Amino acid sequence: METELCAFSPEACRTAARAGVTRAELCASPYEGGTTPSAAAIRMARRVPNLRLSVMIRPRGGDFLYTDEEFRQMLEEVRFARECGADCVVAGLLTPDGRVDEERMARLVAEAGGMEVTFHRAFDMTRDCTEALEALVRAGCRRVLTSGGRNTAPEGLETIRTLVAAAAGRIEVMAGSGVRPANVLKIAGAGVDAVHFSARRTVESRMRFRNGAVSMGGIAGIPEYASVGTDEETIREILRRLA
């Protein structure tokens, strides 16, 4: 059973390697569900030994319907990740009617060259998961990350089982969202090839002076004096349950 940590920093990648995780998916912008990390973060994460590295390719938050300019940016980001020695890139493109943008995904796969390509949870926003799975097989994706079309993998477990059967070894199915030590064995029991988790913890700021009247992003509910970290003990407990 492969394991993948959703990591929002090179430090989180080091934690993943220390705990024994197979692969880290490096992202930025946790409150947007993950976007492309910075060049420096990719380079630093690539230096972490004994860890396979996936790089998120997502130019912005929001939906997965991209302009031509955004798609060109994604191609550039794939090239950069390849030049940095990443093992995998993670992307997802949809059409306006909620189907996989198969033509563009095939172009990203071609640009990836020897890197693996994971189609992320844009998959869960498609109108028909079975149809979407076949499109990903044709496009040449190595794996799909899914919660079974629901908010969390435990909620979508029956659909995940159906997708594993439909994949029939042609594409890997990785379950993610809501994966915890208490449910990871049940999720693994669906026959998935890998599980994906973030093991998040809140890291409080060390700032003593705090201006509560200012929100840098202008969005209520996003903390100004806390950041997203990784709980190593949660990671280790997930791995213990899978052992």
The more confidently predicted of residues 212 and 2 is 2
| pLDDT tier for residue 163 given thresholds of 50, 70 and 90 | very high
Burial class (CB within 10 angstroms; exposed 0-12, middle 13-18, buried 19+) of 207: exposed
Alpha helices in the chain (DSSP H): 10-19, 39-46, 68-83, 102-112, 129-139, 157-167, 184-188, 232-242
The per-residue pLDDT for range 49-84, each reduced to its tens digit, is: 999 999 999 999 999 999 999 999 999 999 999 999
| pLDDT tier for residue 217 given thresholds of 50, 70 and 90 | confident
Give me the mean pLDDT over the 121-128 stretch.
Answer: 98
The per-residue pLDDT for range 29-50, each reduced to its tens digit, is: 999 999 999 999 999 999 999 9
Tell me the backbone φ, ψ of residue 210, rounded to 5 degrees: -135, 130
| pLDDT tier for residue 215 given thresholds of 50, 70 and 90 | confident
Give me the mean pLDDT over the 181-204 stretch.
Answer: 96
Q: How far is CA 69 from CA 29, 51, 63, 113, in A?
A: 21, 32, 15, 21
Q: Which of 126-135, 193-202, 203-212 is least confident?
A: 203-212
Residue 236 has pLDDT above 80, yes or no: yes
Find the length of the chain. 243
Determine the pLDDT at residue 9: 97
Which of 91-105 are b and which e, b meaning 16 or more Cβ less than 10 Å from the residue's Cβ? bbbbbeeeebbbebb
The per-residue pLDDT for range 113-122, each reduced to its tens digit, is: 999 999 999 9
pTM: 0.94
Give me the mean pLDDT over the 91-113 stretch.
Answer: 98
| pLDDT tier for residue 218 given thresholds of 50, 70 and 90 | confident
DSSP annotation string for 27-81: -B-GGGT-BPPPHHHHHHHHTSTT-EEEEE--SSSS-S---HHHHHHHHHHHHHH
Determine the pLDDT at residue 216: 83
Determine the pLDDT at residue 222: 82
Average per-residue pLDDT for the chain: 96
Determine the pLDDT at residue 79: 98
Burial class (CB within 10 angstroms; exposed 0-12, middle 13-18, buried 19+) of 192: buried
